[in-house]
């Protein structure tokens, strides 16, 4: 009885100690239930992590496979493009070689025809000049006047001056050419004359020659004479330049500058 009376404190303490660990949580779940729930949650997390890794590996493998396929297709496409381009270059080179060969053949034919036409034109030009020269002799015009007319006529045939110009206008046009200018400066320097004065004399040169020429008195055996007594220094220089210009042409006229002895004509 006394033992029972002395032990209430223990009993109370024991009861109080049990009261600190309730048998249920706020949701009415027991520790066993909580343990089972935590275990299930951990298992779920482990499963999710495992599946996440598996999916990551699957995606990585799929990416690597896709990358390999893409790389293979890209290389195949590049190889095909390179082959197509190479084939096109070869085809173009072949076509170009054929065209170049055909062009060379046509060029040779064209050159042959051009040479033939040039020879024909040269023959026609020679015949025209010979006919004109014979006419000059028959008409008693084989002199300085006829020489200027023949120079302009030949310049028209060679398209050095317009075909419709007269003799004086033709001389003016020819005096503007490079071949005339080159000889002009040499003659002016050699004769110690002025370019301006010589060029000024050209503007009325044909009329002056016509007024001072009579038949073939300025010709010896078809040699045209530029007389020092008939023309002044500038006029003689201009005549000499025109005659030197025609020296480089076909069927040139023979001429000289100076005086002839009395009775030589």
Per-residue pLDDT at 18: 44
Q: What is the pTM of this model?
A: 0.56
224: which residues sit within 8 A by CB, 6+ positions away? Answer: 142, 143, 144, 147, 218, 243, 253, 254, 255, 256
In a domain, 140, yes or no: yes
In-domain check, residue 185: yes
pLDDT computed for residue 260 by the predictor: 66
Q: Say if residue 14's pLDDT is above 70.
A: no
**What three-state secondary structure class fits 226?**
strand
User: What does the pLDDT read at residue 16?
Assistant: 45
Q: Token digits for 237?
A: 């220089």
pLDDT of residue 206: 98
146-204 pLDDT per residue, tens:
999 999 999 998 899 999 999 999 999 999 999 999 999 999 999 999 999 999 999 99
- More confident site: 23 or 37: 37
Domains contained in the chain, number: 1
The answer as to whether 1 is a domain residue is no
Q: Is residue 92 in some structural domain?
A: no
pLDDT of residue 5: 44
What's the pLDDT score for residue 74? Answer: 81
DSSP readout, 1-13? -HHHHH-HHHHHH
Q: Give the residue from 122, 104, 136 showing the smallest Cα distance to 250.
A: 122
Domain that holds residue 173: 120-257
Q: Is the dihedral of CA 160, 165, 171, 175 positive or negative?
A: negative
Asked, for residue 158, whether it belongs to a domain, the answer is yes
| pLDDT of 89 strictly over 90 | no
Is 82 part of a structural domain of the chain?
Answer: no
Query: Is the residue at 102 inside a domain?
Result: no
Within-domain flag for 58: no
Task: Check pLDDT > 60 for residue 8.
Answer: no
């Amino acid at each position: 009885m006394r033992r029972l009376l002395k032990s209430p404190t223990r009993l109370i303490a024991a009861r109080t100690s049990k009261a600190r660990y309730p048998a249920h949580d706020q949701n009415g779940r027991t520790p066993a239930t909580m343990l089972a729930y935590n275990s299930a949650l951990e298992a779920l997390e482990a499963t999710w992590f495992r599946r996440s890794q598996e999916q990551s590996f699957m995606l990585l493998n799929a990416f690597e496979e896709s990358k390999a396929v893409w790389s293979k297709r890209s290389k195949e496409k590049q190889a095909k493009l390179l082959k197509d381009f190479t084939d096109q270059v070869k085809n173009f080179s072949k076509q170009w070689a054929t065209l170049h060969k055909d062009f060379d053949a046509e060029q040779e034919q064209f050159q042959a025809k051009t040479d033939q036409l040039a020879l024909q034109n040269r023959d026609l030009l020679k015949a025209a000049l010979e006919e004109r020269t014979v006419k000059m002799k028959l008409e008693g015009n084989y002199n300085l006047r006829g020489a200027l007319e023949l120079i302009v006529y030949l310049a028209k045939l060679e398209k050095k001056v317009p075909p419709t110009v007269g003799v004086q206008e033709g001389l003016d046009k020819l005096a503007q050419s490079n071949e005339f200018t080159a000889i002009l400066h040499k003659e002016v320097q050699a004769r110690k004359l002025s370019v301006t004065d010589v060029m000024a004399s050209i503007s009325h040169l044909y009329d002056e020659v016509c007024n001072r020429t009579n038949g073939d008195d300025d010709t010896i055996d078809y040699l045209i004479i530029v007389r020092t007594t008939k023309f002044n220094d500038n006029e003689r220089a201009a005549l000499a330049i025109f005659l030197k210009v025609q020296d480089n042409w076909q069927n040139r006229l023979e001429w000289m500058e100076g005086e002839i002895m009395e009775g030589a004509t």
